[in-house]
A and B are shown apart, each in its own frame.
Chain A
């Protein structure tokens, strides 16, 4: 067995040490800014999470929509029943007083029954009010936490912009809040 070749002496590798960069005032400011941006992003993520947007879009808003749709249908149906009863009384041509009285009593009862819609629609509207209140509180917290300001020149949805322009041009304000609109007496003075 031939003798093993003599090993070459191990080369000494110099140990690398982390270079110490000197961070000037500008660098420190940059680091501080980046840290602030990172904090801000973390806070934005936290606040967006607190909005629970998915829950709002999946449950709360569709549910409020559904409740209001039901309120509209229920009130329309009750109004129809009440008016039909009233129209029947107005158009009654009974020959006897007893017959007329019986008809009026039956229709009055129908009117009273139809008025029961108010209890249910009141409860449905209360649910919508609660959902809107929750949405308002979450948005308010979001806006306050991030110091959000309304953008005056933000991109507007073209359909919204068209509707707003039409409302403005044709003075479509809808019913005024209680005590806000002009009273009939004041209108009458204008037409004196």
Chain B
């Protein structure tokens, strides 16, 4: 199954540089409909307003972290099926296991390259 390049993607990160990097990588992959949010609270509000095909989120943000966002998404009947990739500098095993238990679809440790992001998106969104 080919990637649906028209699917809206929500990038959640409190560092605008990282948002810009991911936006550029997604653009190079062919995705045009990309929104962003600077923390979990803002992201959750956006997720309730628009149907996204994928969430790519950082972990460490305030006031709501990416981990809390993930748990909110998985607890919400309307959002729980949304694919969710964590892209974070948190690289302790306990973080990866906690995210997996909470229902994350994949986990990327920063710094990462375009190929890693592409592979994970393909794996999660079904290429």
Contact = CB atoms under 8 A, between A and B. Distances in A.
Interface residues of A, number: 22
A171 B67 contact: yes
Given A90-B24, A173-B95, A184-B109, A190 B100 contact: yes
Interface in B97-111: 97-98, 100, 106-110
A83 B89 contact: no
A111 B17 CA distance: 16
A180 B95 CA distance: 14
B90 A187 contact: no
Interface of A: 76, 79-80, 83, 86-87, 90, 170-176, 180-184, 187, 190-191
A164 to B, nearest CB: 15
Contacts of A171: 59, 67, 90, 92, 94-95, 98
Contact of B65 (A87, A172, A190): A172
A73 to B, nearest CB: 13
Contacts of B89: 174-176
Contact of B91 (A170, A182, A191): A182
Contacts of B60: 172, 174
B28 to A, nearest CB: 7
B17 A182 contact: no
Interface in B1-42: 17, 20-21, 24, 27-28
Contacts of A174: 60, 89-90
A175 B91 CA distance: 7
Interface in B52-110: 59-60, 65, 67-68, 89-98, 100, 106-110
B122 to A, nearest CB: 13
A163 B78 CA distance: 32
27 contacts: A83-B24, A86-B24, A87-B24, A90-B28, A170-B65, A170-B68, A171-B67, A171-B92, A171-B95, A172-B60, A173-B92, A173-B95, A174-B89, A174-B90, A175-B89, A175-B90, A176-B91, A181-B92, A182-B91, A182-B109, A183-B109, A187-B96, A187-B107, A187-B109, A190-B97, A191-B100, A191-B107
